[in-house]
Amino acid sequence: MTAPLHQRIRADIEARIRSGEWAPGHRVPFETELVAQYGCARMTVSKAMAGLAEAGLIVRRRRAGSFVAMPRMHAPVLNIPDIQASILARGETYAFRLLSRRVRAARRDAPEDVELAAGGELLELEGVHDAAGRPFALERRLVSLNAAPAMAAADFTSASPGAWLLEHVAWTEAETRISAANADADVARLLALEPATACLIVDRHTWRGPDHVTRVRQIFPGDAYDLVARFGPGA
């Protein structure tokens, strides 16, 4: 059975956003352009656009048109920048060492896996971010290949997984949790630390509309990273 035309229009636009062809801030064709492209009524296009807006994939602006949604954070006073960009901005050399990479199914006994995979497969990555030739952060990441299918074949020699996602996959919401723990033997070895060294742990989960994109844990030596928020009494 053929899907209604408004659903096909929505699916076409969503596919371009999902693939990264249309990055955050990209202007979606005007409704009049889509009407001409699909040879349909304006109401059909409006219904497709309304669905995309409701899912958080686009932002509709009166007179200006519709745009691929930009990221937003739950706590805007706490901004954790991309590691690669931060290191380069400090004038230090940057490298990402990929330690392991595999595509796997969600573990049935792990609800967070099942939720992230959404019926598809997961890309599991582990690697170390180096700054000036020294370990800066250990990263363990899971990516939904439903949300980012092209990432299965991505090359991380020139860009970290996080930088690749920022460039290719539009996300609309992020949740970040900060904690601290002492490095176990494995973490200490990978970060060239003494066992039980204090570390900062950043856990981040991102979505695109209702769809899960990635879960990542980044572990930093306690003296290598700080979090700064500046705000007024009304914030």
What pLDDT does residue 187 have? Answer: 96
pLDDT > 70: percent of the chain: 89
What pLDDT does residue 71 have? Answer: 53
The CATH T-level fold of domain 5-68 is: Arc Repressor Mutant, subunit A (1.10.10)
Give CA separation, 219 vs 138, 141, 153, 193, 203, in Å.
5, 11, 25, 12, 9
Domain 5-68 identical in fold to domain 83-221: no
Residue ranges of domains in the chain: 5-68, 83-221
pTM: 0.66
The structural architecture, per CATH, of the domain 83-221 is 3-Layer(aba) Sandwich (3.40)
d(CA 196, CA 185): 8
Q: What is the mean pLDDT of residues 180-194?
A: 94
What pLDDT does residue 157 have? Answer: 85
Question: Which of 89, 74, 84, 168 minimizes the C-alpha distance to 127?
Answer: 84
Residues comprising the chain, all counted:
235
d(CA 160, CA 152): 14
- Helix H or strand E encompassing 8: helix 5-19
pLDDT, one tens digit per residue, over 118-156 is 999 999 999 999 988 889 999 999 999 999 999 999 999
